[in-house]
Amino acid sequence: MTTIALCQIPVSPDPPTNLKRVKEALARAEGADLAIFPEATLTRYGRHITELAEPLDGPFVSGLAEAAGEHGLPVIAGVFESGDDRVRNTAVALDAQGALRAAYRKIHLFDSFGAKESDLVAPGAEPVVVELAGLRVGLATCYDIRFPELFRALVDQGAELFAVIAAWGSGPLKEEHWVTLVKARALENTMWTAAVGQAPNPAESSDGYGVGRSMLVDPLGVVRADAGTGPGVQLVQVDHEWTATARATLPCLQHRVL
């Protein structure tokens, strides 16, 4: 068993406020082997991200690293990484000592539903699998969930768990899309999938980001936990023996032709 803390926090435009919320959530995650926070934990989406983006050795990631080391708990969280003309939407993976083990730059940018993330963010190019808490974790961010080929690539790199972080936008059918897609990526790859979104932030509700609905979905697409819409930290368990049972029942990865 691996215990994961789904850390569904609201996100402010102010990085120090968000770092404080991360530290509070980690204090509530006692007993977890891995803590996962949303996309854009550094600061809420908006044109200000180009001003607040930091290098990976900047104060926010350094603060995450210090907190991870203090609690002896690996952390995955979303930040905006400074670049040349545009920032990167980056998921950082820190180990239990606070060392940076991987940085995944979001490949698929949200140029949909009237938004154009690519105006501010440069896309990444490489799928990333990182070893944390004794597991090979495949990283994905928000709009990536709509692209099954990325998740197949993570399988081919040896992923044993998908960690999907998001600042999912609200709107007609959008929440339904999120739930359906997370379940589909888990089922079609017979893979435990931990998906963590921002909790709604009433103080910033006009932008529509953050629907909550952080989930743990098992390898047969069954939702084992759903955090609903409110902020909170939920501890969930990944049963690795069940993965073997599910794949014996549904050996679709063995049956791949392409």
23 in active site: no
| Closest to 196 in 3D by CA, of 157, 156, 159, 236 | 236
Helix (H, G, I), strand (E, B) or coil at 98: coil
Spacing of C-alpha 43 from chain mean position: 15
Amino acid at 244: A
Options 39, 81, 160, 204, the catalytic residue: 39
Catalytic residue among 7, 142, 183, 204: 142
Asked if 106 is an active-site residue, the reply is: yes
| Residue 176 known to be catalytic | no
Q: Count the Cβ atoms, other than its own, within 10 Å of residue 215.
A: 25
Taking the C-alpha atoms of residue 80 and residue 88, their distance in angstroms, rounded to an integer, is 6
Cα–Cα separations (whole angstroms), residue 110 to 11, 58, 107, 142: 19, 26, 10, 8
C-alpha angle 226/109/102, rounded to 5°?
70
Annotated catalytic residue: which of 7, 54, 81, 106?
106
User: What angle, rounded to 10 degrees, do the helices at 148-156 and 174-188 form?
Assistant: 30
Annotated catalytic residues are 39, 106, 142
